[in-house]
Structure 1
């Protein structure tokens, strides 16, 4: 009983804004390897701060305050289905499955990252705010200083694993279809007026 109380109070002491999710990953006691083979990562440079993932999977994602971007604070804090739904709600597909080693590197590199939020707003405004244009989510130059330190995130975990490739392909195709259907409905609504 006392053990559970201590664990709960420890979890309440975790500062979401500063914790790196790779430090909270459960590991096998014998091998000291992560229990899960894939981790979840948000590419904050691509994130538009929509809050969808943080609303759906509240025990995995949160919105960091400085830049208003989504971030993972606890790997698999929610069940797999909830995390997948959160990923599917992302309008810019900036949430990825990556291996643990890559997660560690990306989170360490994130310590000194600078996200040009103003440049991102200008870039979205120049392109009509959120519609089309694949490059609109990349960091861009603003003023005299260039901000191109966006981390390179693998687009998937294990491309040699056929099961993963099929699941990821289906997820991406489904997300694309839903986006196209929404765009078509919006275009039809405009035409009907």
Structure 2
């Protein structure tokens, strides 16, 4: 049996029912056509003659700026079950706005419940240089209680935190935040809970 076929069969068993398939864009057509397949619990990426398997519950997603024919674009880097990062550029597959959003949504859905459970047990979760607990959010030498935090925005490589009616900028940290989609979902819930505790 073809090793690639066997790997795909094992991936399908691991990742559950099939969802969407995305073909390469016209620019990527060639002898080794890339392919992106989304499943219930993960995805497979066939590129450069290799198949990468990614599980939503264990992967790490990072944004990265890459150079393409269209100029500088934003790519997603996902980490496969083998620990190897794979770059997904918007120009690699058709309908990038669909698959980018779907991957972020699926990773968020898969990872947030476990993260909330860990926080409830008293864990401190690190998202690159930013960390959160059930009571606080911080980066480097700064921390704030959730009851103080009114809003958090991620803007151009910085995290902007509104607390006590003023904005604080934690510069240069946003580009280092892995699983930014998960971080945003947790911030939304913890900020709302903090405001509820304060009221």
Question: TM-score scaled by structure 1?
Answer: 0.26
Tell me: higher relative CO, structure 1 or 2? Use CA pairs within 8 A at least 6 residues apart.
1
Question: TM-score scaled by structure 2?
Answer: 0.26
Looking at secondary structure, tell me which structure has more helix per residue: 1
Looking at secondary structure, tell me which structure has more strand per residue: 2
